[in-house]
Structures are given as C-alpha cells and as structure tokens.
Amino acid sequence: MRDKLGLLGFLSLAALAAACEGRITDAAGGGGATTGAAGAGGPATTPQVTPPTPADQMRIDMMMQAANPDLFALAQKYFPTTDIASAPKRVSRLTRTQLDITTKTLLPAFYGTTTAVSAVPPDPLQTNYEYAANLGFNAANFTPYQKWVDGIAAAVRAKPASLIDCSASNNSAACLQTEAKKLVARAFRGGVPDAQVQRFADFYATSFAQVGAADAAADLVSLLLMSPGYVFRDEVQTDVTGFLMPPQRLANMTYTLADAPPETLGLSSAAPTASLQTSDAVQQTVDRILATPEARAKLLRFFMSWLEVRDADDFTIDPTAFPAFTPTVAAAAVEETRSFLAKQLSAAAPNLKSVTQSTQSFVTQSLAAIYGVRTASATNLVDLDPTQRLGIFTQPAVLASHSGPTTTRLVKRGVFFVRKVMCMPLGAPPQGVDTSIPATATGTERDRVATVTAQAACVGCHAVINPFGFMQENYDAIGRWRTTDNGLPINAAIDVSFLDEGRLMTTTPVDALKGFTNSARFKQCFARQLFRFYMGRDELASDDPLLRTMFFDFANNDEQAIVKLLRTLGGAPAFSQRTEAP
C-alpha cells in the first residue's frame, strides 16, 4: 500500500501538466471534470440566466450616455470596443492564499501555524501581480508545497478520528466510504464526477483495512491535497450559452472576489444552483460574497499589490545612506500602510478618495521622526500636515518601495506612476542609450535627471515619466519631507497637458496628487488595475464593454465607490462566460 501511495502521488502531480491543457485528472486516475456536482446525487441544473446580446449592451451604453454624456464620451475613449465576446476558457492553479483558505476550510482541525504563504515561495510576478494563471509547479515551489502537505498529513496521522470517525459502526466499510466521499466532494468543490469521488473513497476504505486508520487518513489527505482536482480550478465546463456550469461558476465568483471556496463563505459547492438561478440571485450572491471579511482581505491584498509595497525585509534602502530606516522602522512603515488601508476599506461603502486624499494615518512612535510629528498612535488616526501629506502615495512604505538604495530614484517613481497609477503607454528605452543617472556632486537629483533625459532619444517618454517623479522630490528615499536636496532648494513644480481635464500646473506634491487622482485617466486606470488583479489576466479588447460600464459606474458623480466597482464586475454576465477561442 505504501508503494501504491507513492505511485499515486507521482501520478497526481504528473497530471498537473494535463490540467494545464484544460483536463482535470485525479490522483487515482480517470477522466475529466463533468458538469455535475460531485457527491450531490446527479448533475446540477443550469441556471436560467440568458447571455447578453449586442442590443443589451447598446441599451446599457445609451443609458450611460443619457445619464452623463461627457463621462460616457471618456468611457468610449478609453474602452472603445463594442463587440461582445466571452473570455477564453482556462484552468488556474490556486494561489498560495487560496490554498491556505481552502485547506483551512476543508481541514480546520489540522490546519497549523505553517501556511502555504509562508511555506511556498511566490510565483514569478507578471506585471507585478501574482496571477492565478500561473499554472505550473517547478523546482522552486513543488518541493516546498509537498513538504507543506506532508506536515498536514502528519497532523492527520496523529488524530485520524478527527478526520473520519466511524467508531460507532465499528468502522464498517459502508461508513468509511460514505464519510470519505463527503470529504472528497468538499475537497474537489463539485468539480469532479461521482465516479471519481468513489475511487478516492474506495482507496481510503481499502487502505484502512490494510494499514490502519492513521496511515489511511494521512494517505487520503496527501492524495487530495496533491491532486489537480484540489490544486487547480477550471473555467472550462460551460452550457450551450457559454456560461460556466454551476459548480465552476460559483467557485469562479468566490475565488475571484474573495480567494475562498464557496463553503468558507456559507455557500455550497454541492448545491450551487440556488445561488445562480436568476440574474437577481447572481447579484445577491455577489453582494453576499463582497460583504465577507475574506472579500475585504482580498481587497487589501489588491491595494498592496497595486502599490507594489515591499515586505519589510525586501526594501533596497542602503542603511549607510539612510541609517534612520532601521528594520524596525521598515516594518512599522509597512504595518502603517496595511493598517491605514484596512481602516479605510472596512467602511460599508469604501471610497477611493479616502485612500488617495486622506490627511490622516496611523503613525507609531517608530514613524514619528519620519513624519516629523509629535503625536503618535498605532490605534487612532493621526492628523498630518495637509501641505505635506495626501493619502497613500505620500506614505513612507509606498515611497521607499520605489526608491533607493541611496537616492529617491525619481525616474523609478515616475515609471511606477505611468504604469500602475495612470496606465499610460510606455516603451522600452532605446537601444544603446545610457539610462544611468550620474552621481555628480552638484545639482539636485531633478537637475541630474532633467539633464540626462533631455537628449532627443529620451525626451518622448520622459516628458511623461519625469513629472510624476519631479512632483515627489520633496520626499527623500524613506519618505521624509525635505525642502533641499544636495544643499539646493527643491523644485517640485510640474506642467503637464496629457489629462482629459486640461493643463495641470502645480508647485507642490499635494496639489499635483489632487490633480492626478481626480482625473479621469487615473480613475480608468484604477478600474483596469482592479480588473487585472481580480481576473488574473490583462484585459482584452472584448472586455471593453464591461470595463466601460465599470469605469462609468465608478466615476459618475465622482463616487469612486470601490466595492460598487467589484459589484459591477462580479454581477456582469461576461464575468461567468467562457469561449473556446484562444
């Protein structure tokens, strides 16, 4: 039996390659996922929701145009495509966070202090997001994941009756199989056929008789957690209208919006249809998901990823150049940003302006010197100087994440704003051009950047990049306010003409940030970045109708309602439709 377990474990992981091609093959062998809800006694009923038509989208566009013609014109500018097309089918591996939440829900008695996030290294980043579309295991993350699973299996081996307890029936084969089937069905979240669930149950019952309760329980958990049916989530099974089948559709909603399986949120993978039967039911389910702590926790993860805030140990600040930025201060800076975001996002209807234009934050004693304040508090918001600080972009953790080792790196700061905050096109530096900034003894960093980037090969891109860096020159590499650089006065003035609202001329970072974060370009970029993070992919031209609606809802009347943006995303038919197109 132990040799058989090793073989099955190998087969389950070898099958990951098949899963990447759109097939889910379980550890015990055999076919792909079906449209039924595993263990639920038969196939699930397809919800009676009709797919949108071009006429439907035209009506939506006409309503938006009538409500706010000027804003609708901007929505069309940024998201011009009118053709409706579903996203391509795909199979996604669960992220480390999703593995943690899923495993804790499945095995609460055995989920220990070692998490997948701490045990498994992060995947390579794609446009700075840990995309769910990272499908494969490699040498860097496979062995740590296997060791993590082994640790959980060892905990199960120590308390097998806490996993499956059939002592009341004298461990009858019928009870062992019934309880094993329940566990397997929960693990696979309705994504595999009943016959496949039965094979796992048969394996457990046979193993129980041959090697005993402890090893049988540990073996079953190992197989489940190493199986593609557990590690992967498919968006492949669809009905004739292109909607994902009920188990896959519900899982798509809960994992996309909250990084959790349906059961974590009080929903059922085994009986998903009631949550999806009508358009109203779908919207109610989306609202229910978005109201959960798991959904707000994912929203916080989005902001940390969007802002590219480093972990405390990952800052590149040179301690010799900036001795004040100790490990304690670095950790406090990251915690400040997390606490600030958690506070602002905990509101019933959080508004983006409360994040980008607040003049308060949590300033602990460790950060008091960085902020130059006398009052410190880790539990209450502290008022900051409104002439120096405005929202998340002036917090030390955000500034230091795009600085260093020895300078503010104004170009790096500018590139971050161009790419992630304003979503403006940016090409690669011309070949053969020296992109280094000379470390001369004279002039400010702005002076040096302006001189180097004034050459003809650079000026096109840097006419856009530089203003975003120059407006932040009052903040040194660790986020302290300063009025001089290299003994010379700071010049934070900018003059840009690429905003839809017209020319923007400012002399302070606060005024510049107000202008940028009030702009339509910023708001459409935020909608894009949120879409990319939650959908786990870059947008396609066929996503324009949905993004057009998301942006309009977000920007109309300057609401900037963050959860409403997610509500529009999760409730849209396009969110749950898939096509065979590549």
Q: Percent of the chain beyond pLDDT 70? A: 88
Does residue 464 sit in the same domain as residue 322? yes
* Range in 62-76, 285-299, 429-443 the model is least confident about: 429-443
Cβ–Cβ under 8 Å, residues 482 and 475: yes
Between 538 and 513, the higher pLDDT residue: 513
Q: Give the amino acid at 59.
A: R
Binning pLDDT at 50, 70 and 90, where does residue 3 land? very low
Taking alpha carbons only, the member of 241, 435, 397 closest to residue 307 is 397
pLDDT digits (tens, 9 = 90+) for 188-244: 998 788 999 999 999 999 999 999 999 999 999 999 999 999 999 999 989 988 899
Nearest-CA neighbor of 465 among 411, 502, 425?
A: 411
Confidence band, pLDDT 50/70/90 cuts, at residue 46: low
CB distance 467 to 503 below 8 Å: no
CB contact at 8 A, 504 and 512: yes
How much is the average pLDDT of 392-416? 96
Query: How confident is the model over 135-179, as pLDDT tens digits?
Result: 678 888 899 999 999 999 999 999 999 999 999 999 999 999 999
26 has pLDDT over 60: no
Mean pLDDT of 309-332: 96
Extract the tokens encoding 463. 């006419």
Within this chain, do residues 316 and 193 fall inside the same structural domain, yes or no? no
Q: What is the pLDDT of residue 17?
A: 37
* Residue 476 within any structural domain of the chain: yes
Are 324 and 447 within one domain?
A: yes
Q: Is residue 64 part of a domain?
A: no
Which residues make Cβ contacts (< 8 Å) with residue 345, sequence separation at least 6? 296, 299, 300, 303, 355, 562
Bigger pLDDT: 578 vs 133: 578
> What's the confidence (pLDDT) of residue 29?
36
At 162 the pLDDT is 96
Residues 338, 462 share a domain: yes
Residue 386 confidence (pLDDT): 97
Average of pLDDT values for 450-463? Answer: 88
**Among 85-99, 157-171, 240-254, 479-493, which stretch is predicted with the lowest mean pLDDT?**
85-99
Structural domain count of the chain: 2
pLDDT band at 42 (very low <50, low <70, confident <90, very high): very low
Same domain for 320 and 223: no
- Check residue 194 and give left, alpha or beta (phi > 0: left; psi -120 to 50: alpha): alpha
The tens digit of pLDDT for each residue in 352-382 reads 999 999 999 999 999 999 999 998 998 999 9
Residue 356: name the closest of 374, 375, 337, 372 by CA: 337
Residue 119 confidence (pLDDT): 94
Residues forming a β-bridge with 338: none
Question: In this structure, is residue 67 part of a structural domain?
Answer: no
The pLDDT value recorded for residue 428 is 77
On whether both 21 and 128 belong to a single domain, the answer is: yes
Is residue 526 domain-resident?
Answer: no
| Assigned domain for 529 exists | no
Shared domain for 119 and 23, answered yes or no, is yes
The DSSP letter of residue 22 is: T
Please report the beta strands in 487-562, taking only residues with DSSP state E, as ranges in sequence order: 488-489, 494-496, 504-506
pLDDT, averaged across the chain: 88
Same domain, yes or no, for 316 and 207?
no
- Domain co-membership, 383 together with 470: yes
Distance CA(232)–CA(220), nearest Å, equals 18
Cβ(445)–Cβ(485) under 8 Å? yes
Both 445 and 321 in one domain: the answer is yes
Structure-token pair, residue 127: 């446009």
Q: Residues 470, 358: one domain?
A: yes
Q: Which pLDDT does position 435 carry in this prediction?
A: 67
Distance CA(268)–CA(270), nearest Å, equals: 5
> What pLDDT does residue 23 have?
35
Three-class secondary structure of residue 233 per DSSP: strand
Phi-psi region of 92 (alpha: psi -120 to 50; beta: other; left: phi over 0): beta
Of 517, 534, 549, the last residue of a domain is 517
User: Domain containing 192: what range?
Assistant: 2-32+91-235
Residue 572 lies in a domain: no
Domain presence at residue 83: no
Q: Which of 204, 252, 217, 250 is nearest to 232 (CA)?
A: 252
Res 31 pLDDT > 70: no
Residue 4 has pLDDT above 60, yes or no: no
Which of 496, 517, 538 is the endpoint of a domain?
Answer: 517
Cβ neighbours around 420 below 10 Å, total: 19
Last residue of one domain, picked from the residues 235, 267, 294: 235
- Do 213 and 344 share a structural domain? no
pLDDT at 15 over 50: no
Q: How many CB atoms lie within 10 A of CB 369?
A: 12
289 assigned to some structural domain: no
